[in-house]
Amino acid sequence: MPRLLPLLTATALTVFSAVPSDAKAPSPAARPNVIVILADDLAYADLGTYGGEIATPNLDAMAKRGLAFTQFHTTPMCSPSRAELLTGADQHRTGFGTMAEFLTDNQRGQPGYELHLNSSVSTIPEKLRPLGYNTYMSGKWHLGRGATPPQRGFDRSFYLIQGAANHFVNKGYAKHMATVEYEEDGKPFTLPKDFYSSDFYTQHLIDYIDAGRPSGKPFFGYLAYTAPHFPLQAPKALIGKYEPIYAKGWDALRAERFARQKQLGLVPADAAMPKMRDKVPAWSSLAPDQQRYQAKVMATYAAMIEDLDANVGKLIAYLKKTGQYDNTLILFTSDNGPEALDLSHDYFLPNVTDWIEENYDNGYANIGSASSFVFLGEGWASAAATSHRLFKDYVTEGGIRGPLIASWPAAQKRTGFAADFSTLIDIMPTVVDAAQGGTSRQHPGAPARPDGEGTSLLPYLEGKSDVLANGFDGMGFELFGNEAFISGDWKILKLRAPEGDDTWKLFNIAWDPGESRDLSQAYPVRFAALKEAYAAYAAQNGVISPPSGFKIVPTGGKRPETSRTGAR
């Protein structure tokens, strides 16, 4: 996906140059290990580094000794983000121009909408294997059965095929998906009795790495958690720890996170906290039993994140113990913003809602256990998104602004916050750059090429450049017909009903991270230039918008017997 220079000042496209024919590859011993860690539906403000209250000491420590990116952007949903991360290409080129669950007739059979990683893109492990790397994956795949991890470059892989599952047992999420599929190296895998997703994924990756050590090869590891994706389930002791914290409710949580983000400089000091969504009731209006119920829901979400963080700490401890830590580049991010849909209440997918009602006990006492199936919901998702508008599913900042933490002790020269624009498609060139010792890095004199993708973040990490993207300053976003283009601090955004009126608006996301003030009339030249940039992006990447009237969340009403927020 080409990133476009601001059309106000330039029209040329720039990309990283090809490896020079006389470049000497570094010796295998000099190459770093690389681990990419992906959380699932984790909000930008959930981690302590970004203003959150959840205990994430390991990720916070990694950010403190590394870099925490504050203008990092994802796609709005799971599969497109995973496709971009693994290939360095725009989602519409990879086969995931949309989600499999929402493919429309005009997209069916079109290039870029195959719903598996297509043959036009290469994955990180496919790039690193020829360089002498062992390649491992553990966690959620969700990139189709047409191209599974063993087929796309992974030497060893344990993975969940589907996009969601019970975190304790092999149970699915709907009548048509009563059980889910786990595989190892292409063969069906039976889960052990003591399975919990984050714990098992982490240990399995450690086992792969350890088994490969005698080879003397560097390794690439992809650790794709399913936490904190629904169903919200976590170790019981951790849930109890957080219930008192969230007894104050979602209104208080939003205000506290917003205040901390101001203190950290992540939000302008004079910014006003975005208005809470009209659909979300004031916390004070809930009955005591409803407040108690909802506090435990959020406590379970937080417990999942603390457990994820503890597993990151376990992985780091293993790397240190085995002497591999200093020369390991670790990148941590999330696939999109927090999930707001509550399919146990929102009755537009009856096969999900009815199946949950028939198969799970979502009473207060059972929340967080293997036999419960609860969702975060709009109140807590809005609080988790904090200073940003909306959440997962949307190309607003609440849907696509994510954390990115980068750490490489052996090579890192710059630490702290990095405020330049960056995206998921930068992961692939960053990893390949590290593996090739900089021989694939873009240089200022590289010729312009119209087929550019992401760019390496390593020159910035290593202190060799004062900018992140070497001239790239723009990127388009589209999913479900909602569209955006970001260039520097400026963003145009067009949302379909019910969240928008299908017209373009202009925002400055540095001044106004909540996207509340349309500046299109005040800056007409910039507005026009960004609309032109989006049109070029859409044409170059084969974007096919759904027909007019398409809605990801069709009006389906709520079931009276399941729409209560209190205990059953």
* Alpha-carbon span 421 to 440, nearest angstrom: 21
Task: Annotate 247-273 with b (16+ C-beta within 10 A) or e (fewer).
Answer: bebbbebbebbbebbbeeebbeeebeb
Distance CA 485, CA 491 (A): 6
Paired strand residues for 206:
none
Distances (CA, A) of 265 to 41, 50, 62, 497: 24, 10, 19, 33
Identity (one letter) of the amino acid at 457? L
- The residue from 92, 116, 142, 204 that is catalytic is 142
Query: What DSSP string runs through 144-173?
Result: -SSS-GGGGT-SEEEEESSS---SSSS--S
Q: Which two tokens stand for residue 503?
A: 């017209």
Decide if 443 is catalytic. Answer: no
Rounded to whole angstroms, what are the CA distances from 403 to 33, 265, 294, 357, 434? 22, 15, 26, 34, 21
Which is nearest to 327 in space by CA: 57, 23, 85, 35? 35
Given 78, 116, 204, 229, the catalytic residue: 78
Strand-pair partners of 421: 71
Instruction: Work out the number of other CB atoms within 10 angstroms of the CB of residue 521.
Output: 8
Copy the structure tokens of residue 2.
């080409």
Q: C-alpha 481: how far from its chain's center?
A: 20
Q: Give the Cβ contact number of residue 423 at 10 Å.
A: 28
**Rounded to a whole number, what is the largest CA-CA distance in the chain?**
71
Going by their DSSP bridges, the two strands 404-407 and 182-184 should be labelled as unpaired
Give the separation between CA 484 and CA 534, rounded to whole angstroms.
7
| 167 in active site | no
Structure tokens at 68: 């925490």
**DSSP-derived secondary structure letter, 116:** S
Q: Distance between CA 50 and CA 46 in Å, rounded? A: 7
Catalytically annotated residues: 78, 142
